[in-house]
A and B are shown apart, each in its own frame.
Chain A
Amino acid sequence: MPVLSSITELVGNTPVVDVSQLSPNPDVRLLAKLEMQNPAGSVKDRIALSMIRDAEEQGRLTPGSTLIEPSSGNTGIALAMLARLGGYHLKIVLPENVTMERRAALEAFGAEIVPSPAAEGSNGAVRRAEKLAGEHPDWLFLYQYGNEANPRAHYRTTGPEILRDVPDLTHFVAGLGTSGTLMGVGSYLKEHRPDIKVIAVEPPSGERVEGLRSLDDGYVPPVFDEWDGMELLDGKRIVRPLDSLRWTRRLVDEAGVFAGPSSGAALCGAAAVAERIDEGVILFIVCDGGWKYLSTGAYSGDLEEMAAKLDEVIYF
């Protein structure tokens, strides 16, 4: 293997592992794309690199620049790695109810954490970052929820990798956060193979968010609308913390893949699809590894008790 000139060369080109032993249907293969293999540990390395390179090429980022971004963790950690390399100051607006490991990882990479109230969830972090960016026009606000470079990263890298490695793919399943993975990969797949079905899974986060005054405080990422998510997706389902955790544990117990709970949610969604089709090949995204969730006790202990605890933290 050649010596790499930078850690950023390790972003992307992630492996796919067959985990069909978890399939509820013997005629349906289940494949896991291991995004935790990215250098900062999650799928978000791709979009962070894409957004940073985009801003650098446009001359909006120079050494010493300050960046601000709302993130429940993974985008922040990926940006923090790149900010270190580029000589940028990074401020991450982080909801208070994320795991201690996410906070510690941000600190390890030298990011400054701006806390936002747990009760307001991710929506509150987005609002806070928007406000701070408005007050500091000299700070660069990459805004992953509305930045074209987010879905474009997946359109240019993740999508082509998937079709190259899995030419007989029939279904693609991924978690819906900013919608960047689903929009970028989904668009690429549909352009080349219109028969492939694209399915989103999401946690029932809106159930408990107390900071909402009404449903008008809700949020749909601009990326979802701009890439025509309503037309692109073939289905969307919620996966509750108990099922997310159950499948996260099965993934490590039966396939040796140690992943975070949002990957269990994607696997649960993939298994639901497998049950209703006759045959096929389903690929789902493993967003990150399990390391950042160990403090929640998610991998041992009473399943229902741990799921209730998981319900208190943002894990998507």
Chain B
Amino acid sequence: MSTISVRLPTVLRPAANGQSVVSVGGSTVGEVVDGLVSDYPGLGANLLDDAGALRKFVNVYVNDEDIRFLDKLDTAVAAGDDVTILPAVAGG
């Protein structure tokens, strides 16, 4: 299991003691998210739905690539990888 740094958007920072970057262990994005929720339970309802899937308006990126187009929560992560969580917003 590797230690991964996770960047949080402004909207989620209050649930993580105000931090913008936190370190969590895991070898897949799913494990990282589980670790995150276990360290900061307030994040749980924000990230996952009742079935444990990523909520529609949550985007998770590994090294800036959206995991929905990789292997979703099974996307592998290794030491040195960056995970970024962002809310989906409008452009245009």
Kindly state the separation between the CA atoms of A221 and B65 in the bound complex, as whole angstroms: 20
Q: B12 contacts A218, CB within 8 Å? A: no
The contact of A72 among B47, B57, B59, B92, by CB within 8 Å, is B92
| Contact status of A316 and B10, CB under 8 A, knowing A204-B84, A207-B86 | no
Q: A207 contacts B69, CB within 8 Å? A: no
**A214 sits at the interface (CB 8 A):** yes
Kindly state the separation between the CA atoms of A252 and B66 in the bound complex, as whole angstroms: 29
Q: For B69, give the chain A residue with the smallest CB separation.
A: A235
Q: For A218, give the chain B residue with the smallest CB separation.
A: B57
Query: How would you classify the secondary structure of chain B's contact residues: helix, strand, loop or mixed?
Result: mixed
**B91 sits at the interface (CB 8 A):** yes
Q: B92 contacts A206, CB within 8 Å? A: no
The contact of A238 among B11, B46, B56, B64, by CB within 8 Å, is B64
Q: B69 contacts A75, CB within 8 Å? A: no
Kindly state the separation between the CA atoms of A180 and B68 in the bound complex, as whole angstroms: 19
| Contact status of A238 and B68, CB under 8 A, knowing A72-B91, A72-B92, A205-B91 | no
| Residue among B65, B68, B90 having the largest count of chain A Cβ atoms under 10 Å | B90
Closest beta carbon of chain B to A141's beta carbon, Å: 14
**A280 sits at the interface (CB 8 A):** no
Kindly state the separation between the CA atoms of A205 and B84 in the bound complex, as whole angstroms: 12
| Contact status of A238 and B86, CB under 8 A, knowing A216-B57, A218-B58, A219-B57 | yes
**A145 sits at the interface (CB 8 A):** yes
Q: B69 contacts A219, CB within 8 Å? A: no
Closest beta carbon of chain B to A139's beta carbon, Å: 19
Which residues of A sit under 8 angstroms from B46, Cβ to Cβ?
A: 214-215
What does the 1/0 interface line of A230-268 toward B look like (CB < 8 Å)? Answer: 100111111110000000000000000000000000000
How many chain B residues touch A (CB < 8 A): the figure is: 26
**A149 sits at the interface (CB 8 A):** no
Which among A9-17, A170-178, A290-298, A300-308 touches the partner chain? A170-178
Which chain A residues numbered 199 to 224 have a C-beta less than 8 Å away from chain B?
A: 202-210, 212-221
**B9 sits at the interface (CB 8 A):** yes
Instruction: Give the bracket for the number of chain A residues in contact with chain B.
Output: 35 or more
| Residue among B47, B66, B89 having the largest count of chain A Cβ atoms under 10 Å | B89
Which residues of A sit under 8 angstroms from B10, Cβ to Cβ?
A: 207-210, 212
Which residues of A sit under 8 angstroms from B89, Cβ to Cβ?
A: 121-123, 205-206, 209, 212, 218-219
Which residues of B sit under 8 angstroms from A238, Cβ to Cβ?
A: 61, 64, 66, 84, 86
**B87 sits at the interface (CB 8 A):** yes
**B51 sits at the interface (CB 8 A):** no
What does the 1/0 interface line of B32-46 toward A look like (CB < 8 Å)? Answer: 000000000000001
| Contact status of A178 and B91, CB under 8 A, knowing A204-B86, A216-B57, A236-B69 | yes
What does the 1/0 interface line of A34-47 toward B look like (CB < 8 Å)? Answer: 00000000001000
Q: A234 contacts B69, CB within 8 Å? A: yes
The contact of B90 among A219, A234, A235, A240, by CB within 8 Å, is A219
Which residues of A sit under 8 angstroms from B66, Cβ to Cβ?
A: 235-238
Q: For A71, give the chain B residue with the smallest CB separation.
A: B92
Closest beta carbon of chain A to B23's beta carbon, Å: 18
Q: B91 contacts A176, CB within 8 Å? A: yes
**A126 sits at the interface (CB 8 A):** yes
Closest beta carbon of chain B to A235's beta carbon, Å: 5
3 residue pairs, one from A and one from B, having the closest CB atoms: A218-B57, A177-B91, A177-B92
* Extra 5 A-B pairs, beta carbons < 8 Å, given A72-B92, A205-B89, A206-B87: A123-B90, A212-B10, A218-B58, A238-B61, A238-B86
